[in-house]
Structure 1
């Protein structure tokens, strides 16, 4: 395992593993959207090509072996069992399968915040158009969101949908561990979008009291795998029968007859499996998991790195003494997830001005967002705040 000091110094000792992305030459503070993929993941393309083209119809054995490695990898990130992990190409795929397992005729109400990621938010909006009662609680303030969501739990509620971190502001949802027992008492399912917690914050389904919750995340952000791979933790010991079901949801999708009625489902999370897909993202994920293991980049260590980087960015910002009416830190660092958000009426213009200076940030509404990554050194973070100061001077005068 590298020392934190080795990541702080210039050059960051991990930067050599991301040469194709040139992370040492660019200041990429959009890690909450997409972190660089380590160079070793390029091996997945040759492995996938060989499996697909050389093995032909015999490829399934190798593909399913890689799938099991990836299920175990995601399970390790949240301290769960691999048997409780379902895979798909996106969170939306998994969310639709989750929705299809709900008794919406008997319980026609779903509760969520008004700042869920579009994979969830758009689908809920369409369900509302189709007659499902969708109740949206304001996501802010995050400190009271869980309490306000819980007020809507009753006999008509099929599910509560919540995020561990607000994807717009980066604020953590406090007291998330109190929600599952309240849901269970009324037979309500809990769906938690933990994409902005996985592999950047220490996140355990046991610590958050989410062993009986559906928890989703994926590879496109802090896991450094790119798009096309996502996972869902499925509550163990339950016989869910999702209406949206592919042939991978059967016991043995190669040998058994997936469409024989009455439909049979595999044990555990596999019953939420889909169907044939491009397996390249799965191969890529396996190589990235191997890379993290070889460098001993554990979730606990990455949490330490993340907290240092956010604190360092925040200190540099505070030391620069910006006018609060122009830009202000949206909350204390201890309540942030994987990135910092700054409240500014000029968020878009500031992001664009910083990009002109070689510093990549992004914005949502009035929030300018900065998401570091473990391969960035402290000097790059300091330079980013310097670029922000120049941008504020340019935009605000």
Structure 2
């Protein structure tokens, strides 16, 4: 296993020299992965094109966006899906939510384990009268829980495929989609922690009518500003929160209509003017992934091998469970791109690890070690050695 990890990692590492991945212990891959050196070329290209083409730069910018869409359609085995660009998933989420009559159907079903962009917004809307029903996202009867909350007041079901606080993959997405479909209720899947780490065929899993939130900051290595909302090509939602880029190609014709129009299929949930620098950077990364043969299968195999080694190295050290332990006992095959450890000292451990040059993060009592394709066996062992050293100085 170690040889397989290192074969790809050592092949990739020289291409990430600006981030110095060979000499740093970067274990926040579930949050911010290093960018390959070619990403810098994208930033330079963006500036040079703005200087030479001025307002005419937008045709080139839109072509970069389309390259990103094509990459996602390939990853999700989704040739007919539509993909709307957003600066972040929150912007896309708010636009999507504004499509529904929440006065007539004021109920949203979600889980207790959603990322802040969704959880915070729903909590705030709950203060304004929205009915938010929470189910336990980490149990096998999640579908039955959702079914028990389903009634005529439900506007949508909103949940993750890979939970940000545990790394556990929701194994019940298809049956949840079948349930919501039978009630004519849309399902939106937050896949920020699934894209590019856990393969998903929307076709094979019968999810073509679902909505998917996607972010480029983590496993895609696209950096900030490259988020997408995926939706079916027959979508006719009319978001109340809408920007002029939703009809960018037909602005004059759009003005003459009595109702606000949504002329561009891939822009239905768009906002307004955005900084296209991010897309030039990301397009270079897409080309790099293709050149290096980083297919969904190759990436998934690398992540699974790295997480398995991380898991085994942690167990080998026989840590005091009162200080730190695995946050769950799920098999590695049911985990995404990071290992979640539970400790009442999580934030203190994270701070001490950072002092030693080990990048991790902590959320409450959860310490997260996230891998990336360029991380080697030696780096995983070294990171666990540093964790052992830190934990040995903690008295429970």
Fold match by TM threshold 0.5: yes
- The answer to whether residue 297 in structure 2 is matched with residue 296 in structure 1 is no
Partners of 1:267 and 1:64 in 2: CA distance: 12
Q: Does the C-alpha gap of structure 1 residues 217 and 350 become closer, same or farther in structure 2, counting only changes over 3 Å?
A: same
- The answer to whether residue 178 in structure 2 is matched with residue 181 in structure 1 is yes
Residues 1-397 of structure 1 mapped to structure 2, 5 A cutoff: 5=3, 7-8=5-6, 12-81=10-79, 83-139=81-137, 141-250=138-247, 252-253=249-250, 256-258=253-255, 260-266=257-263, 268-330=265-327, 331-332=329-330, 333-396=332-395
CA positional deviation for 1:44: 1.2
Partners of 2:140 and 2:390 in 1: CA distance: 31
CA positional deviation for 1:131: 1.2
Q: Does the C-alpha gap of structure 1 residues 219 and 11 become closer, same or farther in structure 2, counting only changes over 3 Å?
A: closer
Q: Aligned with 1:44: secondary structure? A: helix
Q: Does the C-alpha gap of structure 1 residues 137 and 195 become closer, same or farther in structure 2, counting only changes over 3 Å?
A: same
CA positional deviation for 1:155: 1.2
Partners of 1:114 and 1:221 in 2: CA distance: 22
Task: Say which is worse superposed, 300-309 or 254-263, in terms of deviation.
Answer: 254-263
- Note the alpha carbon deviations across 1:118-162, whole angstroms, 9 max, x for none: 1111111121111111112244x3444343233212211000110
Q: Does the C-alpha gap of structure 1 residues 90 and 103 become closer, same or farther in structure 2, counting only changes over 3 Å?
A: same
Residue 249 of structure 1 contacts residue 265 of structure 1 at CA under 8 Å; is this kept in 2? yes
Q: Aligned with 1:396: secondary structure? A: coil
CA positional deviation for 1:5: 3.6
Residue 85 of structure 1 contacts residue 234 of structure 1 at CA under 8 Å; is this kept in 2? yes
Q: Does the C-alpha gap of structure 1 residues 293 and 204 become closer, same or farther in structure 2, counting only changes over 3 Å?
A: same
Residue 191 of structure 2 contacts residue 212 of structure 2 at CA under 8 Å; is this kept in 1? yes
Partners of 2:245 and 2:9 in 1: CA distance: 45
* Contiguous gaps of at least 5 residues in structure 1: none
Q: Does the C-alpha gap of structure 1 residues 268 and 152 become closer, same or farther in structure 2, counting only changes over 3 Å?
A: farther
Q: Aligned with 1:252: secondary structure? A: helix
Q: Does the C-alpha gap of structure 1 residues 76 and 136 become closer, same or farther in structure 2, counting only changes over 3 Å?
A: same
CA positional deviation for 1:362: 1.1
Q: Aligned with 1:394: secondary structure? A: coil
Residue 167 of structure 2 contacts residue 337 of structure 2 at CA under 8 Å; is this kept in 1? yes
Q: Aligned with 2:158: secondary structure? A: strand
Partners of 1:358 and 1:45 in 2: CA distance: 28
Corresponding pairs, count: 394
Partners of 1:68 and 1:23 in 2: CA distance: 30
CA positional deviation for 1:6: 5.7
Partners of 2:357 and 2:249 in 1: CA distance: 51
Q: Does the C-alpha gap of structure 1 residues 259 and 157 become closer, same or farther in structure 2, counting only changes over 3 Å?
A: farther
Partners of 1:259 and 1:16 in 2: CA distance: 55
- Note the alpha carbon deviations across 1:215-274, whole angstroms, 9 max, x for none: 011110000111111011112213121111222212614664457422222253322222
